[in-house]
Structure 1
Amino acid sequence: MAVRAVGYFREGGGQADCASLADQNRRFLEFCRARAYEVAATFLDGAGAGGERPGFRQLLDYLRRRPENVVVVVDRLACLGRDPREVARSYFQIVSLGASVACLSDEDEDATAAIIAHWRARDKRDRLSERVRAAMRRKAVKGEVLGRPPYGYRAGLRHRLEVVPEEAAVVRYIFRMYTQEGLGIRLIARRLNEEGYRTRRGGNWSMVTIRDILRNRVYLGTYSRFGVRVPGSHQALIAPDDFRKAQDRMAARRTAGGPRTVSPFLLSGLLTCGACGHRMIGVTRRQTWTRRSDGASSSAQYRYYQCGSRTNQSVCAYHTRRAEQLDEEVRLATIAALERAVAGDGAEEDHGDDLPSPTRLRGQLRNVDRELDRLMEQAAAGRMSRERFQALSVELAQRRLALEEQLAAAEARSRARQARVERRERRQEALHQLRECWEELAFEDRQAVLREMLARVLVFDDRVEPVLRE
């Protein structure tokens, strides 16, 4: 039987930068041609996949279905995960499903030995990184500048922020235009550019740059970095009242909304003609006439729903219903449909109460990861042979795969249960509004209740059939 090759490509890589997706695919195909392997499938995870890795999940599902004589090809071992633990976990999960792993960058590399070496190097990197972070936090507590100083300041003596007079004047000008002159962010950027002001790099001002300056608490004299906030660490450029006015105005602009347009017909967008399946539309007709008795003018307005295909295409019979009567008929029919649905929701049984909860399964997964960490620490310290480490790690990978399947089922069951509870509560509240509060509800609230509950309403000449949302 020919060997089936499956490619797993990762954009951006994990611990080490993988080649581009195009290069990974090209090298994978060359690898298969050189060995006469059958190209069976490819899976990939983009740079934004993070911890979810849908491509890797699909790869595992593929291996569960067709594990015989399969080799998983990766650019390099480090592309299997973001850190040594994830690399090891991914590698042993693949092996536990009966497949082997081949690395394009180093075909002769012993994967198990490489995993142990990565873990050993990780301890050294972690200790160094923690020392660097601790030193930077100590500097931040002292108010010392870390990184590029914000516009309006420079790093001065003892690495503290010092005012740059020319830039500070621009910062104050920006706040004055925003809080006192009432200019918007776009107009502020335009005025600065028209008046010849330039950013620190000599470029034009943009809305993003202006907005960042208006939001930055550094201009109050507060230095923030690495979760450390040091008030009064340097000279402020903006008074607290002016800064607060700027924040209040930006918050008001984010929450302000335009006028709401409401359709004058309660059932707009919900009605479907039962005869032809097209939408029904609301129609208003105004009629004016002159009375013969006294010559006075009179007028009346008629509101009704009509099949849209009749109005626009003349392809349906004249199916029309008076708006007020149909509105009430739909309300009563919706009440009846909701009463049946609520009774059905209460009758549904949940047969999964004896199964492990998602919380318990996540705890078991964490225990498996801790056990894998312990195995790698022992192997890295030379207290366990490579062969025993691999055998025990494969067993752990099998346990983890089983737990992941149980967790996926438990989470789906939990989501379904919660959805049923929430759906029942929404329907009960809608019933209360339709039966007992309808007359007191504003038009917008009535329409919102119906649209939340109904997917559509089939309208026939002699009846209506509401279709509830799930």
Structure 2
Amino acid sequence: MKKVIAYVRISTGKQKFNTSIENQIQVIKEYCAARGYQLVIIYSEEGSAKNVKDRPEFIKMYNHFLADPEIEYVIVYKLDRAFRKLLDSLYFWDKIKENNKYFISILDNINTIDPHSKDTYIFSALHAERERENTLLRTTGGMEVKAAQGFFNGGIVFGYESVRGSLRIIPQEAAIVNFIYKKYVYDNWGYKKIASELNIQCIKTKKGKDWTTTAIKTILESKIYIGYVKWRSTYTKGKHKAIISQDLWDKAQAIKSTKSIQPRKIHPGTYPLSGLLKCPQCGSVMVQGNSSQKYKYYQCNKNKSSGRSACSSNLIKKDYAEEYVLEAVLSHINTLNLSPLLQQITISNINSNLVSLKEEAKILKKALEKVEKKLIDLYKLFNAEDEDERISTETFTLLVKEAEKEKKRDQQRLNELNERITLQKDLNLSQNINFVVDDFKSFYQLISDEDKKLLFHNLIKEIHITMGSTTKERKIKEIIYQFEPENMNTLLSA
């Protein structure tokens, strides 16, 4: 008695009954009983996946099928239950042939023990892939049509709830939306002041979080509140009720447009300690403060985003903080004896990277050899004297096109790898590393603002500051580094 395993799958819970898991299993069991096959196990899966590698039950089935010498067949109700991509199905074909095993698709009338089954198998796989693409188009097209008809396509919108594809006003939230617009338009409040006021009143966002300037800005820009729905970048008149009048929305946009015409920043450059400095009050990171040309500060991010109800600003002077940290870093580096370690680490990383690059290049060379062999085999099959072995022109053209595409991609990647290998072999590190370590301050002045920030973030974990009742009183309290001198000794002796 032949031993077989089966695989069944549905993409969603909305499949018609004739492709349900239960119906697939029933058909497979009847098929096996009629032919005297012993059905060892059925692997069942629900949910869509672009690739078979994202389907855990398929992977289990595949490994079981190839590993168990007693299993001769894998059976599916229909080929598209197993494969939705042509390349996946072609790879599976090669594997079952290599292992002298067979595949049955009941509805497609495919049994690969039949030497003439290959064309049917390939055409069914191609049809499955095209059907998947058409389904995606239909889904996207359906959403586009739905939006064009004024229906909501999903998501979370403050002020509304979604009920069967329609938006319904939540009165309490609608009142807050009105508050935001009126304060912005009639009282000339900015994003931060509105967010701060809502937070003081303990009013939360739809997700239960504090209000931020970004959340306020989003509400003030959304046409949903004047009765429109959006699909991609197009707005259409919706079927839901507006919360804001057209007149109020227009005034808000006019004010926003005026405010958006800002002069160039008067404090150019980056703030390299952003994200490293910790607020002494709430512990959140400190970022670029609302500074003038003369006075520049780091400010608590929670205060900047959500206002004084969330935390105080706890400003610390930018120039003081950066000069202090740079001098501290210089002193720290002098205790580390970095040159030998940097050379050791860099050379080790380059050598390791070279090994991985060479390994990848080796794999790509083998892949290219396989593609070349595949092309030769395809030409042989296309020109075979035996008509039963010969593949059709359509199949031949399709497979050659896929193989040539694969060859071009792999060759391009191989060329890139070879260039990188050559460049890394020619690097001379000692002189550059010694310059960085011996004259770190000069090196620091040479690099860009972005690189300064990156450098600090690689050397430092976090920086604590004192509480202080005024900006002048606030000082650097402690710098926690990514590594300490004792760690360096351990690394050098390793």
Q: Tell me the TM-score normalized by structure 1.
A: 0.43
Structure ranking higher on relative contact order (CA contacts 8 Å, 6+ apart): 1
Q: Tell me the TM-score normalized by structure 2.
A: 0.42
